[in-house]
Structure 1
Amino acid sequence: MLRSTQFIKNLKRFRMVTFDITDTLLKFRKPPGKQYAETAALLGVQNLDPKQLQQIFQEEYKALTKKYPNFGSNSKEITWQEWWQQLVHNIFIRVDSRLQNSQIQRISERLLEQYRTNECYMHIDGNIELLQRIRDSCKYVGVISNTDPGLDSLLRSMNIRQNFDFVYTSYDLGVEKPHQGAFQKPLEIYRVHPHEALHIGNLYDKDYLGARNAGWCSLLVTQIKEEAQKAESTHVYRNLREMHYALETITIKW
């Protein structure tokens, strides 16, 4: 009972709580390089080096993001699905220039399907308990994530979409966190003041600081010491269970 009371006290001021998704509530089952290699193998492209794929993935992801920021959300040249298809094409052509476009297309389509389901993602320990607890304590619970519109399908596949009143991706919003515009739309739609909103995420700059610069409160979940040291001591936790316990047992100074 005491824990329940403290939890309610800590969240009493908030009418809205939002979450980041990747590495906050969900995480990859495998690094992209390994997943790409395994998917390619299933479709007949064998013996690719996952480490090489991972390195090329990072390089091509960065290059395509520079050319078409935010998955092409503000470009008339490319859809978000085509953005991912282009990324996969660029990666596999570098790995083996002899691959046919039809082969890469099949790999691309399969990966696009996989990354919208629990084939590629798993729950982070403690996420369901914390989500449900916050769901019971706050008026609105939602998602603000730097990703594409496929996120909704992923959340349904992971059986947590029902916990959220709304899911806003950076693609839908037209801006990525830490841009203040990413935090503004939910406030306008649900008529909530910034000081009545709390955001929880795993990145100091994009989640913790981005939210605070928009007038929100925020909590950070990270095991990176350099990131953790930048945040207030009662605002940063190594994992969701630790954060949940703190919300139930100590007074958080927002």
Structure 2
Amino acid sequence: MSLTSQFVANLKRFRLVTFDVTDTLLRLEDPLFRYHRTAEEFGVTGVDRRRAGWNHVDGAQELVQCVRDAGKCVGIISNFDPSLPKVLDSMDFAGKFDFILTSYEAGVMKPHPAIFEIPLERLQITADQALHIGNKPDLDYEGARNCGWSGLLVNGGTGGHHHSFATLSHLLEALNTQQIQW
């Protein structure tokens, strides 16, 4: 999909757009997810969570590419462990992100303010120039908004407000055709 003037206008104020990963860009297959969770509960570490158990969420690659094509810095902020870069690379996201910040690296988990402040400090931008897209109202949307960022939810449209979208494809369509009120 090519960029529309509306897409560019909607993202004009932002220099940084970040994404959550799990259930926003990638979805872990349910049986494999249960296996990993059980293994971790029993102290088993080093379980390979790369490509075998992950699927792209529909519209993920297209939305990330459109944001990049709009000239924005694109990053990841995720409550994930240090294996995330390998997972993203194995899922054909190599080179698509300017940075990947995990809760492991940050030392705190979303919605803690520090995980949203670190990218601002590194990029020397202000919170009003940042947008975070995720699927958890409390961790992603409220976490970002409480730090002065803008936020969008992709959670089946159950957020109850105009910043909530059913799917990434619906979000991309809205960015391309509607004026988003921040």
Do the structures match in fold with TM over 0.5? yes
> Which residue, out of 133, 147, 165, partners 2:98?
165
* Separation of aligned partners in 2, 1:239 and 1:141: 19
Alignment of 1:92-107 (within 5 A): none
Match of 1:21 in 2: 21
Between structures 1 and 2, the one with greater strand share: 2
Q: Letter of the aligned partner of 1:88 in structure 2?
A: F
Q: CA deviation at 1:187?
A: 0.4
Q: CA deviation at 1:2?
A: 10
* Structure 2 gap ranges (5+): none
* Separation of aligned partners in 2, 1:214 and 1:243: 22
* Separation of aligned partners in 2, 1:223 and 1:122: 17
Match of 1:194 in 2: 127
* Separation of aligned partners in 2, 1:31 and 1:186: 34
* Structure 1 gap ranges (5+): 37-53, 61-83, 90-104
Aligned residues: 182
Q: Are the equivalent residues in 1 in contact too, given 2:157–2:164 (CA < 8 A)?
A: no
Closer, same or farther: CA 2–142 of 1 in aligned 2, 3 Å: closer
Match of 1:88 in 2: 42
Q: Between Structure 1 and Structure 2, whose CA radius of gyration is higher?
A: 1
Closer, same or farther: CA 33–200 of 1 in aligned 2, 3 Å: closer
Q: Are the equivalent residues in 2 in contact too, given 1:20–1:145 (CA < 8 A)?
A: yes
What CA deviation, in whole Å up to 9, does each residue of 1:62-105 have, x standing for no partner? xxxxxxxxxxxxxxxxxxxxxx4xx234xxxxxxxxxxxxxxx6
Closer, same or farther: CA 34–146 of 1 in aligned 2, 3 Å: closer
Q: Letter of the aligned partner of 1:249 in structure 2?
A: T
1:211 aligns with 2:144: yes
Between structures 1 and 2, the one with greater helix share: 1
* Separation of aligned partners in 2, 1:122 and 1:2: 24
> Which residue, out of 165, 178, 183, partners 2:111?
178
Q: CA deviation at 1:19?
A: 0.2
Q: Letter of the aligned partner of 1:159 in structure 2?
A: D
* Separation of aligned partners in 1, 2:156 and 2:72: 30
Q: CA deviation at 1:192?
A: 1.1
* Separation of aligned partners in 1, 2:87 and 2:104: 15
Closer, same or farther: CA 133–224 of 1 in aligned 2, 3 Å: closer
- Structure 1 consecutive aligned stretches of length 4 or more whose deviation exceeds 6 Å: none
Match of 1:242 in 2: 170
Question: TM-score, normalising length from structure 1?
Answer: 0.67
* Separation of aligned partners in 1, 2:13 and 2:172: 17
Q: Letter of the aligned partner of 2:154 in structure 1?
A: V
> Which residue, out of 126, 129, 142, partners 2:59?
126
What CA deviation, in whole Å up to 9, does each residue of 1:4-49 have, x standing for no partner? 100000000000000000000000123346646xxxxxxxxxxxxx
Q: Are the equivalent residues in 1 in contact too, given 2:3–2:70 (CA < 8 A)?
A: no
RMSD between aligned residues: 2.1
* Separation of aligned partners in 2, 1:146 and 1:191: 23
